[in-house]
A and B are shown apart, each in its own frame.
Chain A
Amino acid sequence: MLSIQDLSIRYGDVTAVTDFNLSLSGDEIVTLVGPTGCGKSSVLRAVAGFEEIASGQLTLADHVVTTTRSLPPEQRNIGLVFQDFALFPHMTVAENVGFRVQDAERVRHWIDVLELSELSHKKPATLSGGQKQRVALARALAHAPQLVLLDEPLSNLDAALKSGLRWRIREALKSAGVPAIWVTHDQSEALAVGDRVGVMRRGRLEQLAEAETCYRRPETRFVAEFLGEGVLMPGRLVGEQVETSLGTGRYDDVQEVLSNGDEVDVLIRPHDVSLLQASDGNAKIVERRYEGETRLYCLQIDGHADVVKVRVSHEQDMPLGTHVTTTIDAHHALPVFPR
């Protein structure tokens, strides 16, 4: 359906996106995630037709867009869902959803699916943020797009609404059976809703893979640190194991560039370590947070400046300043990167 090849986008002298490649079809949802200014929204605007491309090409169904061949936004048949909703304030909900739809049945269908029928005669100004975003999605889907683009659709909503609406949007997209690109800066949202996740940094796609792969086997140090919680600790490869000051565990040479004896950085996530109280331990608790089901301890490791976060069961209650012994207790191989 959509194929993006070697896409670059420039604003004057500034390159916003470089050599971006992505293709998707069926009903796949790809999330693009990255820090502010990483170029993720620029990709979206280029696909939608609001940004010129500096090089590369876009293939949309049977249209090809290049630097010399453009296609106006209205001919791309793409549904856009904006961060600030962009509902037409002078039209009711029903009029917004039916903006250019001939088939009244289709308008009613999407109003029903997104549970808007009671609001259908209201003006956008009277709606809550979550309701507005449902109207925006209904409007996009009622126009029967061949692709849906969502630009940070949840970032203007409060946290309580986010997780519920996340699933509503995903379900609606799946039931419409259209592919979608969903841009977000919230990594937990990216991991949760994306069939595949693309992690962007400084205009480049660092990794594009299934959510679990990105999380378990990050291909770059940036992806390792950006997704989820975790810290890169120095270590050394010895046989099948990597030795660190926290303990020893199996390793995963994601980039396939390392050999025995190399000095490496190991990705340690809070769940990968277990603690045992010991007066001669290698670490000391410097901060503790109660999280309900779990407890998070921040540890000062002997001989290290950085603090390491460890998450354990709530039953393991230890006061500040307790000395502990750490062991690596992961059921997977730890990703390692050359130093």
Chain B
Amino acid sequence: MSGAHRTTAISGVVALCVVAPIIVLVRLGWGADLDAASEILPLVRNTLALTVLTVIGAIGLGVPLAIVTAHCDIPYRRFWLAALVAPLAVPSYIGAFTYFAAFGSGGEISNWVGWDVPKVEGLWGTALVMSLFTYPLVLLTTRASLKQLDGRMVEAARSLGATLPESLRRVVMPRVRSGIAGGALLVALYTMSDFATPSILGFDTFTRVIFVEYNAFGLDRAALLSLVLLVIIAAVLMFESRVGVEEERAQHPFSIELTGVARPALMGLMVVTLMAALVLPALVFGAWLLGDETSGVSWALVWNTLMPALLAAFGAVLLALPVASGAARGGLGRWFERLATLGYGIPGIVLGTALLYVGLRVDWLYQTLTLLVLAHILKFLPLSIGPLRDAVARSDQNLTNAARGLGATPAEAFRRVAFPMLLPAAIAGGALVFLEVMRELPLTLLLRPTGLETLTTELWQVYEAGYFGRAAVPSLLLIAISAVGVVFMLTGERGLNDVGVRS
């Protein structure tokens, strides 16, 4: 077998591994005892309602904020932009957790102000919290397409007699629509996949009920629900192919001078958004840190968080190499790569259900670190494939050929020429996987070996036990990890393209 064929074959095996959980789910969920009308339909309705409301909320916040940060003459624009993107670095379970703890009678806010405030819960509460932590996705994609807009377009429209609002509506919006749609799609996928927020805020979506079924030993029912959720996600993903961003170079910057009520209104929106998405969680953490329940984290916990993440990152890069070079060759390799990236779209709770069943059937995998690491590799493989595929596509086959011409064996040519050129991309991809695994919740929750607690599972147990004060230190550590990850994604080799679905 030649080198090229071997690469494609390995790539095929990897792709098969990613698809396997879906097959497992079909086997497991077939014939599960679930009533479509009374049990599945309400979940479909709830999940879709939550998704629609969250998308509306995220667009309502993200689009005006994108316009302000892209084109308006506000002071400290870069600061505002950084601050408004920052909520992306708050993992969903932490955001939901702080809202859960802050509101309601006996919540932190009622402790501060002295009277009862209503709970944030149910459909509206969950949609509110999800919007607050996902709007940066819309902000970023919208801003990216706004930045491509040439200022002369607006001037042309105005010289033809259109007012500024009319120009924005008729000339700017059609151009930006695809950017908004791209962000909205990410928000929709995120909302449907996220397990922690609806669970904590008490709203029955697919992800929440799958976890409930798992806890009630109804693994077959969980599998069937997982399959229905996957079908809905696949349907939404169909839209993605229609969302294309038109490339255009903006030669003249476009700026809007804010006049009248527009300035206080938009500045107010920025301040309120930041208060809700950053300041409130920070205040809650502050209260916890100062409270008497607070406790540090043990070294064991830190090691248990780092070690699986390191292993997964290493494994993901190792497997990404053949997939990426297969994809660069095109043909079958490109199809395998597409399949291998599917894992990212499978919600963690769904993948966890499938692999848990595999563990139950295969003795030597059950409750092992191996299974946990494999699960994370399947889920986050696309993060390491992305940068590597670009690097492979950029690297010139001629250079390897030149090394061969100078007498190097294929192995030596790879070691001395190709590999050093791929190294930065491999490190970038590995680092992303490392950071993502550390803050991942549902897979770890379902698959961790007994006794292995990580920062995220510790946080989950604190939530379930009600000792909120203990959440402060792990939460802050996770936000820090998360922030590094977000900065990495936004400034990394592929920039915005890597902002994907997290769950």
Q: Which A residues form the contact surface with B (CB < 8 A)?
A: 48-50, 72-80, 82, 84, 86-90, 99-100, 139-140, 143
- Residue of chain A at shortest CB distance from B156: A86
B116 close to A (CB within 8 Å): no
Contact of A80 among B155, B246, B251 (CB under 8 A): B155
Contact of B152 among A73, A79, A84 (CB under 8 A): A84
A20 to B164, CA, bound (A): 29
Q: A86 contacts which chain B residues (CB < 8 A)?
A: 150, 152-153, 155-156
- Tell me whether A139 and B160 are in contact in the complex, defined as CB-CB below 8 angstroms, given that A88-B171, A90-B175 are known contacts: yes
Select the residue from B156, B159, B162, B251 with max chain A CB neighbours within 10 A: B159
Q: Are B159 and A78 in contact (CB-based, < 8 A)?
A: yes
Q: A87 contacts which chain B residues (CB < 8 A)?
A: 156
B215 close to A (CB within 8 Å): no
Select the residue from A49, A77, A90, A143 with max chain B CB neighbours within 10 A: A90
Q: Are B162 and A72 in contact (CB-based, < 8 A)?
A: no
Q: Are B248 and A73 in contact (CB-based, < 8 A)?
A: no
Q: B251 contacts which chain A residues (CB < 8 A)?
A: 84
A307 to chain B, nearest CB (A): 39
Q: A143 contacts which chain B residues (CB < 8 A)?
A: 160-161
B395 close to A (CB within 8 Å): no
Q: B163 contacts which chain A residues (CB < 8 A)?
A: 72, 74
Known: A86-B156, A99-B160. 4 other contacts (CB 8 A): A79-B159, A86-B153, A86-B155, A89-B175
B280 close to A (CB within 8 Å): no
Select the residue from B160, B170, B174, B246 with max chain A CB neighbours within 10 A: B160
- Tell me whether A74 and B161 are in contact in the complex, defined as CB-CB below 8 angstroms, given that A84-B152, A89-B246 are known contacts: yes
Q: Are A88 and B158 in contact (CB-based, < 8 A)?
A: no
B157 close to A (CB within 8 Å): yes
Q: A50 contacts which chain B residues (CB < 8 A)?
A: 155
Q: Please report whether the interface of chain B is mostly helix, strand, loop or mixed according to DSSP.
A: helix
Q: Which B residues form the contact surface with A (CB < 8 A)?
A: 150, 152-153, 155-164, 170-171, 174-175, 246, 248, 251
Q: B164 contacts which chain A residues (CB < 8 A)?
A: 72, 74
Q: Are B162 and A84 in contact (CB-based, < 8 A)?
A: no
Question: What are the 10 tightest A-B residue pairs by CB atom distance, in nearest-first order?
Answer: A80-B159, A86-B152, A86-B156, A73-B158, A90-B174, A74-B158, A74-B161, A143-B160, A100-B161, A99-B160
A232 to chain B, nearest CB (A): 38
Sample of 21 A–B contacts (CB below 8 Å): A49-B159, A50-B155, A73-B159, A74-B161, A76-B159, A82-B152, A84-B251, A86-B153, A86-B155, A88-B170, A89-B175, A89-B246, A89-B248, A90-B175, A99-B157, A99-B170, A100-B160, A100-B161, A100-B162, A140-B159, A143-B161
Select the residue from A78, A79, A82, A87 with max chain B CB neighbours within 10 A: A82
Q: A80 contacts which chain B residues (CB < 8 A)?
A: 155-156, 159
A82 to B163, CA, bound (A): 19
- Tell me whether A48 and B159 are in contact in the complex, defined as CB-CB below 8 angstroms, given that A84-B150, A90-B174 are known contacts: yes
A51 to chain B, nearest CB (A): 11
Q: B174 contacts which chain A residues (CB < 8 A)?
A: 90
Q: B155 contacts which chain A residues (CB < 8 A)?
A: 48, 50, 73, 80, 82, 86
A20 to chain B, nearest CB (A): 20
A312 to chain B, nearest CB (A): 44
A139 to B248, CA, bound (A): 22
Q: A73 contacts which chain B residues (CB < 8 A)?
A: 155, 158-159
B149 to chain A, nearest CB (A): 10
Q: Are A88 and B153 in contact (CB-based, < 8 A)?
A: yes
B155 to chain A, nearest CB (A): 6
A42 to B233, CA, bound (A): 53
A86 to chain B, nearest CB (A): 4
A133 to chain B, nearest CB (A): 13
Select the residue from B152, B163, B174 with max chain A CB neighbours within 10 A: B152
